[in-house]
Amino acid sequence: MPNFRDYMMIQEAADFLGVTVMTLYRWDAAGKLSPRRHPINGYRLYKRSELVRLLKSMDKKRKKTT
């Protein structure tokens, strides 16, 4: 059983990354993120460490273009 404190629900993840929930849906479909599902309610859960990795990757790309 995963420790759910290591995960964020979709709205929390979107706020953390500074994007919309729809963007997360698109990134899921494109394979950029792989959310887990809560075993009881089926909600998408995003691992905090994966979001941090993605955020760092976005920052690196942004710095390259400036």
Spatial distance between the Cα atoms of 19 and 2, rounded to a whole number of angstroms: 25
The CATH number that applies at residue 47 is 1.10.1660.10
- The tokens for 6 are 């290591």
d(CA 7, CA 36) in angstroms, rounded, equals 9
C-alpha 46/C-alpha 62 separation (Å) is 23
Residue 29 tokens, joined: 């479909």
Q: Which CA distances in Å does 20 have to 12, 52, 56? A: 10, 16, 18
> Whole-model pTM?
0.81
* Domains in the chain, number: 1
- Reported as a single tens digit per residue, the pLDDT across 3-58 is 778 999 999 999 999 999 999 999 999 999 999 999 899 999 999 999 999 999 88
pLDDT of amino acid 28 = 94
Domain that holds residue 46: 4-65
Which 8-state DSSP code applies to residue 41?
A: T
